[in-house]
């Protein structure tokens, strides 16, 4: 008489693994979508800034014919600068927008759900505090860099089409415009710069704001700034130095170790820029900052577990 086997067939085991992975990642996916749904300014704000810039660029295209005609007699480096400058300015404005949106979002991410008492509803769902806080941290660290890169790419395409249409309608040669604009490389450079210099490097700043957002009852920016001001003031009075303030400032404005250029004062999206991921990843300050950011996130997760509505 044969006894029944308790072994699970390999095919059934492999089929059960994939749904388990999907079920594990689905709460995080929907938590991120929830953040974008509740905080529409995360993408509406950059779109408005992009629209305002495009309106200004449309007005400035009146001078484009003169600019292109004057640039034809310049050396190649000067032509490159004259043609590419509006595209670099557009990228720079969108990078600054990403920083501002990230700061305001992190300062209100955990505070807002306590203020409007929606934390009671979200805590009733089978979503852990870990998933919720990680989803909120992913907005400035991943989602916004991707979103800003896509919006900037769309701006560049609209600018290029408008410029080409104007030059083509006037009978001018558009070869110089297209030859001087390696847009695909510019987009990759911008995405790389956003992910490294404006996401990973200032991660401690964003995670600190998330932590204070989950603790403060009001005036999140004030409570987040007071310890920095106090420590900087004590250091200045006691040691006549300002290392702490300089360190926070460097974290805020982003890292310069992720890129290198042969020309001074080159924009991060300039094709002459060279990425230096080895130098960036080898910077001890990056890993120290990530450890500090992880500690702030852990504290924010523990804090949310015991926090209720304001």
pLDDT tens across 108-126, in order? 999 988 888 888 888 888 8
Evaluate if residue 215 carries a pLDDT over 50: yes
Whole-angstrom distance, CA of residue 170 vs CA of residue 183: 24
Burial label, 65 (beta-carbon count in 10 A; 0-12, 13-18, 19+): middle
Q: How far apart are CA 239 and CA 190, in angstroms?
A: 39
List, for residues 218-231, the tens digit of each pLDDT value: 889 999 999 999 99
Please check the confidence at residue 167 and state whether its pLDDT lies above 70: no
pLDDT band at 12 (very low <50, low <70, confident <90, very high): very low
Q: What is the pTM of this model?
A: 0.82
- Residue by residue, DSSP assigns 134-195 as HHHHHIIIIIHHHHHHHHHHHHHHHHHHHHHHHHHHTT---HHHHHT--HHHHHHHHHHHHH
Is residue 1 predicted with pLDDT exceeding 50?
no
DSSP code of 139?
A: I
Query: What's CA 114's distance to the chain center, in Å?
Result: 25
Summarised one tens digit per residue, pLDDT across range 42-64 is 999 999 999 999 998 888 877 66
CA distance 74 to 54: 27
| pLDDT over threshold 50, residue 187 | yes
Q: Distance (Å, rounded) from C-alpha 286 to C-alpha 62?
A: 45
Q: State the pLDDT confidence band at 265, using cuts at 50, 70 and 90.
A: low
Alpha-carbon distance 72 to 94, whole Å? 29
Higher pLDDT, 72 or 96: 96
Q: Sort residue 137 into left (φ over 0), alpha (ψ -120 to 50) or beta.
A: alpha
């Amino acid at each position: 008489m044969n006894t029944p086997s308790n072994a699970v067939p390999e095919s059934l085991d492999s089929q059960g693994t994939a749904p388990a992975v999907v079920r594990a990642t689905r709460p995080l996916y929907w938590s991120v979508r929830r953040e974008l749904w509740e905080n529409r300014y995360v993408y509406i704000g950059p779109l408005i800034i992009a629209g305002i810039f495009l309106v200004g660029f449309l007005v400035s295209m009146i001078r484009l014919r003169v600019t292109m005609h004057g640039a034809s007699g310049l050396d190649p480096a000067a032509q490159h600068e004259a043609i590419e400058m509006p595209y670099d300015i557009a990228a720079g404005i969108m990078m600054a927008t990403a920083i501002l949106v990230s700061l305001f979002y992190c300062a209100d991410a955990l505070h807002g759900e306590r203020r409007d008492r929606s934390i009671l509803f979200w805590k009733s769902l089978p979503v852990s505090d870990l998933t919720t806080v990680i989803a909120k941290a992913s907005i400035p660290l991943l989602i916004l860099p991707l979103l800003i890169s896509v919006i900037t790419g769309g701006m560049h395409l609209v600018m290029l089409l408008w410029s080409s249409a104007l030059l083509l309608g006037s009978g001018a040669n558009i070869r110089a415009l297209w030859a001087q604009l390696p847009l695909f490389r510019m987009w990759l450079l911008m995405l790389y710069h956003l992910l490294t210099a404006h996401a990973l490097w200032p991660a401690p700043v964003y995670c600190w704001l998330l932590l204070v957002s989950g603790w403060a009852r009001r005036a999140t920016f004030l409570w987040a700034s007071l310890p920095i001001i106090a420590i900087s003031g004590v250091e200045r009075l006691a040691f006549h130095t300002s290392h702490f303030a300089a360190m926070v400032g460097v974290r805020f404005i982003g890292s310069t170790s992720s890129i290198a250029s042969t020309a001074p004062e080159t924009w991060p999206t300039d094709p002459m820029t060279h990425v230096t991921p080895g130098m960036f990843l080898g910077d001890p300050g990056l890993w120290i900052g990530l450890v500090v950011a992880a500690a702030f996130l852990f504290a924010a997760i523990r804090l949310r577990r015991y926090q209720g509505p304001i």
